[in-house]
Amino acid sequence: MFVMALAFLLLGVPVAFVFGSVAIFAVLLFPELGFEVFQILPFRIYGIMSNSTLMAVPLFIMMGLILEKSQMAEKLLMSMSAMLSGVRGGLAISVVLVGAMLAASTGIVSASVVMLSVIALPLMIKAKYDPALASGTVAASGTLGQIIPPSIILIILGDVMSVSVGELFIGAMLPGLLLVSLYIAYIAIRAYLQPEIAPLIEVETKTTFKENIFAIAPPLLLMVSVLGSIFSGIASPTESAAFGVVGAVILSLLNRSINVEMLRYASLETVKLSGMIFMILIGATAFSLVFNELGGSDMVLDYFSHDVGDVWVFIAVSMIAIFILGFFIDFIEISFIIVPILVPIMEAFGIDPIWFAVLIAMNLQASFLTPPFGLALFFLKGSAKDMVQTMQIYRGIVPFIILQVVALGLVIVFPVLVFAFI
């Protein structure tokens, strides 16, 4: 079934239809199953439709899309660059900080990567930054939305693994900040050792401290409001997402960038992205039904419980498998197909689901950056056009993938990074 799914993906079959098609082909290949296996599918789909946790997905997507069109990121980056203009590598560091703030405000990787590619990459190339470092910084910073709450993947994992999304958000905060710190440290060290790849920049238009604060404060306020309401228990993630949409609209009003066309764009794109996610979820549900009926999950559980029997071997194998699959398969398919297979084994070994979910989220972040199908690389190349070459992007992204693996290793060795505030 997995080989068939991978073959369909490589042939270019739309992702939303791959796993449902594989399930049907598997039933045809094994007639003893019969199409009766799909009788429970409508009930599973109804469960998805009535799941209040998953309602947060389209709401956070809409919040991010409104902010994408409000020019908030542009003002934020300009202000950060002005404040760090005297620091070598300051422009790249400001891109990482803005990427982290966008991640905490929107949680949408595609929007963050495209925004930073359009706004930050031309500035960095103009400032004579090394194209590989510039493109690597932009792609890696844009993907911080995978681990820094409110992350769409954390909402999906919370639902798939039946754990509190609020606790997942709290648990992911320190690992997310650890990753940001590693990125900044890497840029600062490289800029110090190789000054020519990250020169000091001259700010063309001087801005006052007050202007910089007014550019940074609104997204920061929205971030604190949305995440603070979840962390303090005042609101659920779904309620906070709805509040975030209202906050994004208010920020756009204050920024004087809201109009009917912008709201129409945000609404249509929300429907498209949400439709894709939920179509994949329905196909993945059909896939898992057939996979379980064929005894696949029992076979995997039996293998790890009896043949392997070691919790650390299971963690190592699962993390390596997810990392390798990330080269070829999107994070949504991995979440809906692979994670449900791992959950019973995780429970059998007594592994904490919050910690394990954060490990998976950090691992899945790398799937956006790993060639040949890393989505962030496609978003970056599509936005940058001829500004940077594909090989420069690949060369620039390697150190950041290594940093992600280092951060993942630190969270595995020091689980307290996840449980510090839970």
Do 160 and 346 touch, CB atoms closer than 8 A?
no
Do 160 and 336 touch, CB atoms closer than 8 A?
yes
| Per-residue tokens: 325 | 């699959």
Q: DSSP secondary-structure letter at 13? A: -
Do 127 and 330 touch, CB atoms closer than 8 A?
no
Do 140 and 115 touch, CB atoms closer than 8 A?
no
| Per-residue tokens: 369 | 């950056």
Q: CA 156 → CA 68, 109, 145, distances in Å?
A: 22, 15, 14
pLDDT surpassing 80 at residue 210: no
- What is the residue whose two structure tokens read 């996840």? 418
Taking the C-alpha atoms of residue 386 and residue 371, their distance in angstroms, rounded to an integer, is: 19
pLDDT surpassing 70 at residue 106: no
Give the amino acid at 310: D
328 HSE (CA, 13 A, CB side) = 14
Stretch 309-326: mean pLDDT: 87
Angle ∠(410,415,421) on CA atoms, nearest 5: 120
For residue 372, whether the previous peptide bond is cis, meaning omega lies within 30 degrees of 0, is yes
Q: For CA atoms 354, 360, 362, 368, give the dihedral sign.
A: negative
Give the amino acid at 31: P
The domains of the chain are located at 2-419
Band of residue 373 on the pLDDT scale cut at 50, 70, 90: low
For the stretch 171-186, pLDDT in tens is 999 999 999 999 999 9
Residue 288 burial (CB count, 10 A) = 19
Band of residue 372 on the pLDDT scale cut at 50, 70, 90: low
Stretch 291-316: mean pLDDT: 80
Do 353 and 346 touch, CB atoms closer than 8 A?
yes
Band of residue 329 on the pLDDT scale cut at 50, 70, 90: confident
Stretch 138-155: mean pLDDT: 89
Q: What is the pLDDT of residue 204?
A: 57
| Per-residue tokens: 100 | 């982290």
Instruction: Report phi then psi at 95, rounded to 5.
Output: -65, -40
Q: Mind giving me the DSSP string for 263-299?
A: HHHHHHHHHHHHHHHHHHHHHHHHHHHHHHHTTHHHH
Angle ∠(93,123,187) on CA atoms, nearest 5: 25
pTM for this entry: 0.84
